[in-house]
Structures are given as C-alpha cells and as structure tokens.
Amino acid sequence: VSDSLPLDRLRQALPDLRILTDPADTEAFRFDETEYLRPGQPLAVAFPRSTADVQAIVRWAGETRTPLVPRGAGTGLSGGAVAIDGALTVVFTQMNQILEIDRANLTATVQPGVINADLGRAVGAQGLFYGPDPASFEMCSIGGNLAENSGGLRCVKYGVTRDWVLGLEVVLANGEVVRTGGKNKKDVAGYDLTSIFVGSEGTLGLITEATLRLLPAPPPS
Ligand SMILES: Cc1cc2nc3c(=O)[nH]c(=O)nc-3n(C[C@H](O)[C@H](O)[C@H](O)COP(=O)(O)OP(=O)(O)OC[C@H]3O[C@@H](n4cnc5c(N)ncnc54)[C@H](O)[C@@H]3O)c2cc1C
C-alpha cells in the first residue's frame, strides 16, 4: 500500500485540515526537548481545529491502522511528542482558545493548545490565579501539562496539574468523545477518570478540552 493512500482518505474526510507532508516542513515536529532519542519519520503532521476534527482523525487512524502521536508545544522531556515512523503527529497549536473564565465558580475551560502563560495572564487580568507553573510556562501547552502532570516551583504550595483539573473532554482510540468530571466539587460518582488521563502522556486518548480550577489571586508577597 502506498503511503499516499491513507493520507488521501484523511484529506477526503477532512478537506480543510492543515496537513504537512514535506520533510522540510515536518522536520520541526519530529523532536521534542528530550535528549538522546532518535525520532522517526512521520507520515504527516496534522493541525486539527476542533473536537470533531480530532474525532475524524482518530477514526481514520483506526481504519487505516495509522499510529497517532499527540503533540502540544513540543517542550516535553520524556519523548512523548517525538515522531514515530509512519505515524501521524497531531499538533494542538490551533486549538488554543480559552473558552470560558467562570468567575463565580472559579474555573476556566480551555482548549489543549492554550499556552500555560497565556492562561495565567488571562485569569490574572480578572484577579484570578492558575497554579501550575512548569519552568517552560511561556512555551508549553495545557494539553502537554495535563498529559505530563506538570508542576513547577509553585507545586510545593499549590500542587501539580492534577490538583487543578476538574474535568476533561477526551477523544478515545475508537473515536468516542467522553467527558469526565465537571465544574462541581460533587462531580465524584464512579471512577476518577480525569486522574487516569492526567499524566498518561497521550497514551489513553487525545485531550480536546479541560476545565481547570482557579483561585483568587494571592496578594503580592
Ligand atoms: C526549559 C524547560 C523547562 C521545563 N520545566 C519543566 C518543569 O518545571 N516542570 C515540568 O513538569 N516540566 C518541565 N518541562 C517539560 C515540559 O515543558 C512539560 O512536560 C510540558 O508540560 C510539556 O508541554 P508541551 O505542550 O510542550 O507538550 P509536548 O512536549 O508537546 O507533549 C508532552 C506529552 O503530552 C502529550 N500531549 C500533548 N498534547 C496532548 C493532548 N491534547 N492530548 C493528549 N496528549 C497530549 C504528548 O503526546 C506527549 O506525550 C520543561 C521543559 C523545558 C524545555
């Protein structure tokens, strides 16, 4: 089977999807910040813009037996976003909207490509605070933070990413979209699926939305 056949099917399914195939273009998406790893040569690099795009990509991947590599900003230090031979790298940089800042409930709902520092600035402008601050905060994405359960210096007082996640929207390997958790503290019935996805390094599903906890901004010290 020629390499172009699966991609033709993807283009048919999602004609507006941005897809890079030229090695000169895909090169920048083969590596993350992990040393001593040899990245593979991806089939292509795709940039979904919506949960529906991600769902269609995952369904296509199942039908064509194409592995997927989710990718945020590519700052990871454990090789999770490194390209695999013949796989489609799915980059979340175009899903970068802060969908809601809910002051009454102290939550923010975001797409996974939002940069950590951008979220911090947006909620800070409303007198609110988002705790997790990996040292890469000016570059890394919330999706990557969730998949790595990242934490920075403030974790000593405020905890790591897992402590700030109330709910997720995730596209599973079969293309099903699931929602875990929710805004309410009492959204606790059943298994704690949110926590399973946090720290799973993209192996259990593609995170397409997250509802995060906020606090009133602490006073300057
Ligand atoms: C200078 C520097 C400083 C750093 N400091 C810290 C630190 O203080 N604390 C810390 O914890 N880490 C740190 N890191 C590591 C890295 O920045 C974090 O792990 C960050 O959370 C990765 O985010 P990213 O958007 O770059 O993710 P990527 O590197 O793109 O991906 C990381 C993992 O997340 C998965 N992923 C990305 N998006 C999704 C999604 N939407 N759905 C499912 N899976 C997804 C990928 O498959 C991969 O497994 C640092 C890195 C650098 C380069």
- The pTM of the full predicted model, rounded to 2 decimals, is 0.96
Per-residue confidence (pLDDT) for residue 21, from 0 to 100:
97
Residue 189: per-residue pLDDT: 86
Look at residue 3 in the predicted model and tell me its pLDDT. 52
Counting from 1 in the atom list of ligand 1, the atom nearest the Cα of 95 is 41
pLDDT of 7 reads 96
| Pocket lining for ligand 1, CB < 6 angstroms | 32-33, 70-77, 80-81, 92, 112, 134-136, 140-141, 143-145, 147-148, 150-152, 201-202, 206-207
Residues of the chain with confidence (pLDDT) below 50 = 1
Identify the residue whose C-alpha is closest to ligand 1 atom 44.
Answer: 202
**122-142 confidence digits (pLDDT tens):** 999 999 999 999 999 999 999
Written in H, E and C, the secondary structure of the chain is CCCHHHHHHHHHHCCCCEEECCHHHHHHHCCCCCCCCCCCCCCEEEECCCHHHHHHHHHHHHHHCCCEEEECCCCCCCCCCCCCCCCEEEECCCCCCEEEEECCCCEEEECCCCEHHHHHHHHHCCCEECCCCCCCCCCCEHHHHHHHCCCCCCHHHHCCHHHHEEEEEEECCCCCEEEEECCCCCCCCCCCHHHHHCCCCCCCCEEEEEEEECEECCCCC
- Per-residue pLDDT of 23-63, as tens digits, reads 999 999 999 999 999 999 999 999 999 999 999 999 999 99
> Which pLDDT belongs to residue 1?
46
